[in-house]
Structure 1
């Protein structure tokens, strides 16, 4: 579309000298545009629990953080300064999501103006003055804020934004354009690179009548192509070891495709595979499997949009849309995931009775990677059986000189460190040390996985430098699970090896067992679970809710904890050990 906008594309401040006529021309061009879609609120988070009325009246609450009063005037520098994650959400303007969606739904302009007022206030502080707060222009906050800035400009142009507010937002666009142009703003090695790429693309497309903005959008599209190839592997798996980030990035890329920002068929094919994989990440209780940095996210019956996968849509809709998956074993060899769901649901209704197992054998990089090589979780008899530590949240970062950073930890909260640790997962450790997350990432460690008559066999191998771990899981749905761990020192050094298991806290522990190990009674009292270590090793306790040391916990939602049964089986001073442990169900007579 040709315009009469008198702007210099090479200027550092494209909008600074806009005349009134130019301002109105730009406003009309924005109103007439339709791509990307900024009219329906799709770029804003729909999973915020508070209503728009509560946010605007009582303040904004992010997760487990305190509610934050956002009444004007705001001392922006003092807000959320003690927590990096909280600050990133604040300076990414996440607090606007519900008010914007409520404005779109009802047309009540007070909600739009509430957001505009705070955007102008923020822009006056940070686009006209410098700050020592690094999180303000941090790449994650920059990219997410740009999406919301684009939405405000579009909705404001269509709904009577004042010239003063419009100029203030355009001044903010200038500053954002300068930040996006910095090489340091774009990191293709983590999902933050995606948010930078999509933020600058959408903001650039919103104002592409301005030559300098069109160039910003084109750079953003190039960055998006880089990100989809680095974030999603060829089998569709996200490379950051977290089902929640897989879900979040998959939907975000899908939105970019829907808005014509990605048109490459190879890339869209990869997104279809990502959507297929998402279905395997849904547990029978409807929640996302909590591997890596994944809190509890309800996937069935929630307000998630449809995916590109009919099989995943079938699970998410409770069988009302899409089609049933005929396969009970899902193997993703490049990403390093294997899943069992048996039987696969075929119709409508509850899906909680299936046996489910998720096995992770991958180390693609440090992003969201816990010390959890060859970890797995198990769901059976309508119940979580083997669980893991969860995410807990991020919080303040460790000092840069902290020795814990050498172990792969970045966050200061001891409980956050615990949920990342090896004992919080169902895997093997050597010398009571966490898996080394600073070593060279080997990629996928998944070996041959197969389905036989009534039996699923999953295998994986992980090289830990001085020692190697080979794991085989044999699952008979509803009957038993046998885990064989073959650990061997490759450097001839004798080591102490520990096998860690975390049993769901809903099971009642009892020492009575027909085998050599402990047993638990499942909720309802009809079934027991027994652990039989067949190599004569004794189970070292069944610890629950220990504070010193931290053992026997998990975090289902950020900032929360609940008790689980933490078990350890050990073999001391050996170069080679094979652990074989069998969990079996028995009906209580």
Structure 2
């Protein structure tokens, strides 16, 4: 039985423990910091009419609850339910108003859950799934802390302590902690906070100690020496960096080497903010507004400057940011003058790495480009996850996990600004190669970025030469390493807000786009020995010419393909140039 640790405690022992928990010792959970899912319905709507998560049906959480029958058909929804995400808005409302009914509503459901799972087994694997385990532990610690400070009943606390005991046993399982993905963080922080909240119980001191050890492992494995998160996604970089920073703020991480790595991660986050204020959508990153005031300040003054619109921190003096271990390079040009508007910057983000499968799209040597106050070259985005493919699906051999065809499209190589061989996705099952970033330099205002990635049977070398406000040149050197002739394709995705101005069927040497107000024209030209195919926009069969800015949405872009056929070696030179429109007659 998992309740043995607390079975012998008398009511007086429970009351004494309650007073110790409420004494305000570290960590102080009175702010409800771990109840952080604040989108969606109001607390009153959730407690009265049920909880709605994303696009899922509203879930009636009236007691009594048959927990095993709730959200059983969808792992994502089930993980949110058993992670107690539905408690966040009610707890926040309690903290804001002092209305104890909201706290009691959460306590009642936590007790109900504990009565079902603390000492009984279940066939529902998601209940003790690592992500649900870690996130629920954070909320369990917060509930116990807030309950202890606000008159929790002895029997309620006893029941929640039984849940703590069961969580301790689950955390001890080797299968609960996977340091190779961000799920390991939630396990580590969950057990650290839960153990520290209850460190008045000597038997639980080890829980917090192991949690801190796991947090140290996670920082070193998730964040590379230059501060980059290893899962190829600025959104997961932001999310994990913020979470680790909370651990630092609450005194759970004190090692100077680890905090130094987090400061580098905070510096890197600033380079990931586009001139329009959004997070650059590489990998599994949806639209995230970084300048709306909703994000806490970081350990980086330069990042804080961007996030606050210059109200906090200090302006970055550099225009080129290079992160060699992570495989990122960035240009933000036009920001040297104090007070210069961020939106006026030229911006380019280049990714040249394959650290592992987690959140990795088929996007080797991909880049995005923003110039003249406008997105120019964009990429597919995230779209969301949805149901997983069956384990025996042949699509898994192509690196896909999810069943939605549009999700598969945004992961595909042609949804990114990259190169393919024989029109096939990059192989994400091959051995990770780490960073492929080469020398990146500022040549008196012309920025030169280099990268190399080896594929199975062929190699891709890319050089980007960016002249802010004027244009850029992309040199793609592709070469077979197995002597096989291939058809090579270069893919560009031009922002859908631009209008295609010329007929590709009549002018195969170049493509022209323009803005609605006719301020300038963007020209794309390539060498004559490569074919420019007609751009495709909003095609459904096959899926091409789309991107997803926020989950579940899609919008049109111009998908451009350049091709060289039946060759062992080819060098593409693609030149994008800004020019003024011809004067009207």
Asked if 1:541 is matched to 2:534, the reply is: yes
Could you tell me which residue of structure 1 aligns to residue 519 of structure 2?
526
Structure 1 residues 60 and 522, CA gap change in structure 2 (3 angstroms):
farther
Could you tell me which residue of structure 1 aligns to residue 485 of structure 2?
494
Asked if 1:464 is matched to 2:451, the reply is: no
Tell me the alpha carbon deviations over residues 222-252 of structure 1, each in whole angstroms, 9 at most, x when there is no partner.
1111111101111000011000110011111
| 1-structure distance, mates of 2:57, 2:352 | 37
Structure 1 residues 73 and 541, CA gap change in structure 2 (3 angstroms):
farther
Match of 2:567 among 543, 565, 574: 574
Could you tell me which residue of structure 1 aligns to residue 401 of structure 2?
410
- Alignment root-mean-square deviation, CA: 1.8
| 2-structure distance, mates of 1:91, 1:20 | 29
Q: What is the deviation of 1:57?
A: 3.2
The within-5 A match list for 1:108-147 is 108-147=99-138
Could you tell me which residue of structure 2 aligns to residue 4 of structure 1?
none
Q: What is the deviation of 1:537?
A: 2.4
SS across alignment from 1:14: helix
Could you tell me which residue of structure 2 aligns to residue 3 of structure 1?
none
Q: What is the deviation of 1:346?
A: 4.7
Asked if 1:399 is matched to 2:384, the reply is: no
Contact kept? 1:535, 1:579, Cα under 8 Å? no
| 2-structure distance, mates of 1:29, 1:535 | 77
Asked if 1:559 is matched to 2:545, the reply is: no
The within-5 A match list for 1:235-274 is 235-274=226-265
Tell me the alpha carbon deviations over residues 458-495 of structure 1, each in whole angstroms, 9 at most, x when there is no partner.
00000002100000001111110111100000010111
Normalising by structure 2, report the TM-score: 0.96
Tell me the alpha carbon deviations over residues 34-91 of structure 1, each in whole angstroms, 9 at most, x when there is no partner.
2112111222216525432333334333334344333333333333333322221221
Q: What is the deviation of 1:434?
A: 0.7
Contact kept? 2:512, 2:524, Cα under 8 Å? yes
Match of 1:284 among 275, 294, 306: 275
| 2-structure distance, mates of 1:276, 1:398 | 37
Could you tell me which residue of structure 2 aligns to residue 510 of structure 1?
501
Q: What is the deviation of 1:584?
A: 1.2
SS across alignment from 1:80: coil
SS across alignment from 1:273: helix
| 2-structure distance, mates of 1:89, 1:252 | 18
Q: What is the deviation of 1:122?
A: 2.1
Q: What is the deviation of 1:578?
A: 0.7
Which stretch has the larger CA shift, 536-545 or 309-318? 536-545
Tell me the alpha carbon deviations over residues 137-158 of structure 1, each in whole angstroms, 9 at most, x when there is no partner.
1101110110000000000110
Asked if 1:445 is matched to 2:436, the reply is: yes
| 1-structure distance, mates of 2:531, 2:48 | 58
| 1-structure distance, mates of 2:358, 2:203 | 33
Structure 1 residues 17 and 541, CA gap change in structure 2 (3 angstroms):
farther
Q: What is the deviation of 1:11?
A: 8.1
| Structure 1: unaligned runs, 5 residues or longer | 1-9
The within-5 A match list for 1:313-332 is 313-332=304-323
Match of 1:155 among 146, 171, 175: 146
Which stretch has the larger CA shift, 162-171 or 474-483? 162-171
Structure 1 residues 385 and 82, CA gap change in structure 2 (3 angstroms):
farther
Which stretch has the larger CA shift, 64-73 or 416-425? 64-73
| 2-structure distance, mates of 1:525, 1:125 | 65
Contact kept? 2:2, 2:166, Cα under 8 Å? no
| 2-structure distance, mates of 1:69, 1:376 | 45
Structure 1 residues 132 and 349, CA gap change in structure 2 (3 angstroms):
farther
Could you tell me which residue of structure 1 aligns to residue 171 of structure 2?
180
The within-5 A match list for 1:286-325 is 286-325=277-316
Asked if 1:76 is matched to 2:105, the reply is: no
| 2-structure distance, mates of 1:493, 1:338 | 32
Q: What is the deviation of 1:557?
A: 1.2
Which stretch has the larger CA shift, 122-131 or 350-359? 122-131
Could you tell me which residue of structure 2 aligns to residue 223 of structure 1?
214
Q: What is the deviation of 1:540?
A: 1.6
Contact kept? 1:47, 1:303, Cα under 8 Å? no
Q: What is the deviation of 1:382?
A: 1.1
| 2-structure distance, mates of 1:552, 1:432 | 15
Contact kept? 1:300, 1:315, Cα under 8 Å? yes
Contact kept? 2:478, 2:569, Cα under 8 Å? yes
Which stretch has the larger CA shift, 324-333 or 59-68? 59-68
| 2-structure distance, mates of 1:75, 1:220 | 32
SS across alignment from 2:509: coil
Alignment size in residue pairs: 580
The within-5 A match list for 1:40-79 is 40-45=31-36, 47-79=38-70
| 1-structure distance, mates of 2:2, 2:40 | 42
Which stretch has the larger CA shift, 407-416 or 503-512? 503-512
Asked if 1:366 is matched to 2:357, the reply is: yes
| 1-structure distance, mates of 2:360, 2:488 | 22
Structure 1 residues 384 and 70, CA gap change in structure 2 (3 angstroms):
farther
SS across alignment from 2:169: helix
Match of 1:584 among 552, 557, 577: 577
Asked if 1:97 is matched to 2:97, the reply is: no
| Structure 2: unaligned runs, 5 residues or longer | none
| 2-structure distance, mates of 1:542, 1:140 | 42
Contact kept? 2:228, 2:268, Cα under 8 Å? yes
Contact kept? 2:2, 2:165, Cα under 8 Å? no
Structure 1 residues 72 and 528, CA gap change in structure 2 (3 angstroms):
farther
